[in-house]
Amino acid sequence: MPILEAQNISKIYNKAGEAIPVLNNLHIAVERGEILVLMGPSGSGKSTLLNILGTLDSDFSGSLIIDELYISNTVDITSIRRQKLGFIFQFHHLLPEFTILENLLIPQMITENYSNVPQNAAKEMLKLIGLEERVNHYPNEISGGERQRVAVVRAMINTPSIILADEPTGNLDRDNSQKMLKLMVKLKVKYKQTFIIATHDQSILDIADRVLYLKDGKITKEI
């Protein structure tokens, strides 16, 4: 059974009294452990679709099921988001006043799982990205590429069903982009982690299991 299934997803923006369709009757199913990439020009709807799949935008028509949970107004969306989803953005959003280790533990603090998830788990994640010796460093003491990789493992720390990433390599040079992609593949293999990635970056296609091309709010091609 797909870990995420979206049916008949449509969205319309109302601008100055005019209805502007952004997404038009999309159907998507994502399997566990899959890296799905959403590609398309600016304005194609890929970021809007990612926000809907990540429960960040509830103003749409259609149905959304995440890990066998039907998403509706009657469920606790915030709880589902915290327990089932992880997010990576173009900018790392690490908190400068906290150490690298503390930044990783923030999701547990928010979900009140801090006592149940030992610091060893976070340190193991840092070891995965070669930063185990930097646990007590602050974000301004490591490189931009390292900060973005910390953001990836922070998204993993609550063992989410799906990680959603919006232009995760958009602020990185080629070398750090490649390190980021290798990390995603490592997480997919080691933890069977599912990724849904919206991007313009053609190099991400190298790690994709499947690519959906969007244009004018429609899926025009799948490879």
Task: Give the separation between CA 173 and CA 78, rounded to whole angstroms.
Answer: 34
Domain-located, residue 151: yes
Q: Tell me: pLDDT of 108 over 60.
A: yes
Domain-located, residue 182: yes
Q: What angle do CA 177, 178, 181 make, to 5 degrees?
A: 90
Question: Looking at residue 92, what is its pLDDT?
Answer: 67
pLDDT in tens, 55-100: 999 999 999 999 999 998 778 898 898 889 999 887 767 899 999 9
Domain-located, residue 70: no
Question: Looking at residue 35, what is its pLDDT?
Answer: 98
Domain-located, residue 211: yes
Is the distance from CB of 156 to CB of 187 less than 8 angstroms? yes
Q: What percent of the chain has pLDDT over 90?
A: 57
Domain around 107: 34-59+75-222
Put the strands of the sheet holding 4-15 in their side by side order. Answer: 18-30, 4-15, 61-66, 69-70
Spell out the alpha helix ranges (H) of the chain. 46-53, 77-84, 100-111, 119-128, 144-156, 174-191
Question: Looking at residue 22, what is its pLDDT?
Answer: 95
Q: Tell me: pLDDT of 42 over 80.
A: yes
Q: What is the mean pLDDT of the chain?
A: 89
Domain-located, residue 65: no
Token pair 């935008």: residue: 57
CATH number, domain containing residue 217:
3.40.50.300
Domain-located, residue 68: no
Domain-located, residue 103: yes
Q: Provide the number of structural domains found in the chain.
A: 1
Bridge-based pairing of strands 18-30 and 194-199 is unpaired
Question: Looking at residue 16, what is its pLDDT?
Answer: 83
Rg of the chain on CA atoms, in Å: 18
Question: Looking at residue 120, what is its pLDDT?
Answer: 79
Domain-located, residue 145: yes
Comparing 152 with 33, which gets the higher pLDDT? 33
